[in-house]
Structure 1
């Protein structure tokens, strides 16, 4: 291992150890494989007083070898209907975008990935995303359109179906 890889492994295991000692409300995290610190599975509890309340959504966090210099990728394994989650489950939020200038000028550099972010700050951002979708920068255009135009109709029905399905499959 290079010094950077060793350092990153230590950072990852420290974050993992820290999360186990001081769990954060709303999610739990664990390694997919005890021999691979770069692949985590998270369970996110749908935030109270949102359409996602009661849901138990499974996702994977995959860390690059040069973490924390670059952000992890997050993908929901459980089906979820949300403007900021594409139809394949990939999460699209600023904190997970590569650091630096946004070539489209939409995000400020400080809104994008910074090496100070942790699994905890990522998960808090994802829980916030569930509570308050960003319809102006959608990964799922159809969900964003429904969220803007028919939030209490079709959008709400699709989310409720995903919540029910997540409860049925949460611990498979």
Structure 2
């Protein structure tokens, strides 16, 4: 059964995590509302070596290698987008990777852009919100903000790949984290070998 998810990608290192998640959700037949911060475009250029034009939302399905019908890329300041309102039902939201700036804004109830507003909506509606911070080391402010979000109902799922599945490539490490996110969304996958299998 097709579901509807919101995926936010920020400027934290590890944009590949967000790309892989969108690919997996789209391949499973789900609709993705994609929210990209300004800094995420720079991460795509720097870390993925994409010659992508910042803000060119129409090119995202090509770069992400997904069916355009499966991804709706929203402008970060379009509050008319369906995900800005709790009356539009979604099956969950993931911010992957999540910068500490975005995490702080959500923890403190800011809604300065569509990503922050969508996250606030997920929390107020009691929907699944998975936050994948990608930062190290963390200071006390980071930890307090994560605790605030956890107490508000978010799942904190740091980008910390396991090694018991004997990863051979970077893709194996990425897939482990993305698989954990899919587990949090209760979506079946075969991205890594589970413990004991």
TM normalised by structure 1 equals 0.26
- Hey, which of these two has a bigger chunk of helix by percent? 2
TM normalised by structure 2 equals 0.23
The structure having more radius of gyration, on CA atoms, is: 1
